[in-house]
Structure 1
Amino acid sequence: MEITLLGTGDTTGTPTVGCDCDTCERSRQLGVERTRFSVHVRNERTGESLLIDASPDFRYQFLREGVDLPDAVLISHVHFDHLDGLGNAYRLLDGVPVYAADETDPQTGESVVETIERKYSYLDAVEPRPATPFETIRTCGLDVTLVPVDHPPLVCYGVAIEDPETGATLSLSGDTSYDIPERSRDALADPDLFLADAIVPASLCDHHPIGGADHDDDGVPRTFGTKHMTREGALDLADELDADETRLVHLAHFYPVEEAFEEPLAVDGERYEL
Structure 2
Amino acid sequence: MRVTLLGTGDTTGTPTVGCDCETCIEARERGVERTRFSVHVENEATGESLLIDASPDFRHQFLREGVPLPDAVVISHIHFDHLDGLGNAYRLFDDLPVHAPSEVDPVTEESVADTIRRKYDYLDRITVHDEAPFEPFRAAGLDVTLVPVDHPPLLCYGLRIEDPETGGTLSLSGDTSYNVSDESLRVLADPDLFLADAIVPASLCEHHPLGGRHHDADGVPQTFGTKHMTREGALAMAEGIGADETRLVHTAHFYPADEAFAEPLAVDGEVYEL
Tell me which interval the TM-score lies in, with the shorter structure as reference length.
over 0.9
Q: Is 2:229 aligned against 1:232?
A: no
How do 1:209-224 residues align onto structure 2 when only pairs under 5 Å count? 209-224=209-224
Instruction: Give the match for residue 150 of structure 2.
Output: 150
Q: How far apart, CA to CA, are the structure 1 residues paired with 2:7 and 2:204?
A: 23
- What is the one-letter code of the residue matched to 1:104? V
**1:266 Cα deviation (Å)?**
0.1
Q: Is 2:187 aligned against 1:187?
A: yes
Q: How far apart, CA to CA, are the structure 2 residues paired with 1:223 and 1:253?
A: 17
Q: Is 2:32 aligned against 1:32?
A: yes
Q: How far apart, CA to CA, are the structure 1 residues paired with 2:126 and 2:120?
A: 8
Across the two proteins, how many residue pairs are aligned to each other? 274
Indicate the SS of the match to 1:85.
helix
Q: How far apart, CA to CA, are the structure 1 residues paired with 2:114 and 2:253?
A: 32
How do 1:98-137 residues align onto structure 2 when only pairs under 5 Å count? 98-137=98-137
**1:100 Cα deviation (Å)?**
0.3
**1:239 Cα deviation (Å)?**
0.2
**1:251 Cα deviation (Å)?**
0.4
Q: How far apart, CA to CA, are the structure 2 residues paired with 1:116 and 1:94?
A: 18
Instruction: Give the match for residue 270 of structure 1.
Output: 270
Q: How far apart, CA to CA, are the structure 2 residues paired with 1:201 and 1:23?
A: 14
Indicate the SS of the match to 1:158.
strand
Q: Where do 5+ consecutive residues of structure 2 fail to align?
A: none
Deviations 1:141-172 (CA, angstroms, capped at 9, x unpaired): 11000010000000000000011121110000
Instruction: Give the match for residue 250 of structure 2.
Output: 250
- What is the one-letter code of the residue matched to 1:51? L
**1:261 Cα deviation (Å)?**
0.1
Q: How far apart, CA to CA, are the structure 2 residues paired with 1:99 and 1:81?
A: 17
**TM-score, normalized by length of structure 2?**
1.00
Indicate the SS of the match to 1:59.
helix
- What is the one-letter code of the residue matched to 1:86? L
Q: Is 2:65 aligned against 1:58?
A: no
Instruction: Give the match for residue 241 of structure 2.
Output: 241
Indicate the SS of the match to 1:161.
strand
Q: Where do 5+ consecutive residues of structure 1 fail to align?
A: none
- What is the one-letter code of the residue matched to 1:197? D
Instruction: Give the match for residue 68 of structure 2.
Output: 68
Deviations 1:223-262 (CA, angstroms, capped at 9, x unpaired): 0000000000000000000000000000000000000000
Q: How far apart, CA to CA, are the structure 2 residues paired with 1:107 and 1:24?
A: 35
Indicate the SS of the match to 2:171.
strand
**TM-score, normalized by length of structure 1?**
1.00
Deviations 1:172-202 (CA, angstroms, capped at 9, x unpaired): 0000000000000000000000000000000
Q: How far apart, CA to CA, are the structure 1 residues paired with 2:95 and 2:160?
A: 24
- What is the one-letter code of the residue matched to 2:81? D
- What is the one-letter code of the residue matched to 1:198? A
Deviations 1:64-85 (CA, angstroms, capped at 9, x unpaired): 0000000000000000000000
**1:140 Cα deviation (Å)?**
1.0
- What is the one-letter code of the residue matched to 2:119? K
Q: How far apart, CA to CA, are the structure 1 residues paired with 2:254 and 2:182?
A: 30
8 Å contact kept, 2:53–2:83: yes
Indicate the SS of the match to 1:237.
helix
Q: How far apart, CA to CA, are the structure 2 residues paired with 1:229 and 1:94?
A: 38
Indicate the SS of the match to 1:153.
coil
RMSD: 0.4
Q: How far apart, CA to CA, are the structure 2 residues paired with 1:99 and 1:139?
A: 8
8 Å contact kept, 2:37–2:55: yes
Deviations 1:19-64 (CA, angstroms, capped at 9, x unpaired): 0000000000000010000000000000000000000000000000
Q: How far apart, CA to CA, are the structure 2 residues paired with 1:121 and 1:182?
A: 36
- What is the one-letter code of the residue matched to 2:112? V
Indicate the SS of the match to 1:39.
strand
- What is the one-letter code of the residue matched to 2:181? P
8 Å contact kept, 2:45–2:165: no
Indicate the SS of the match to 1:160.
strand
Q: How far apart, CA to CA, are the structure 2 residues paired with 1:177 and 1:237?
A: 10
Q: Is 2:27 aligned against 1:8?
A: no
Instruction: Give the match for residue 21 of structure 1.
Output: 21
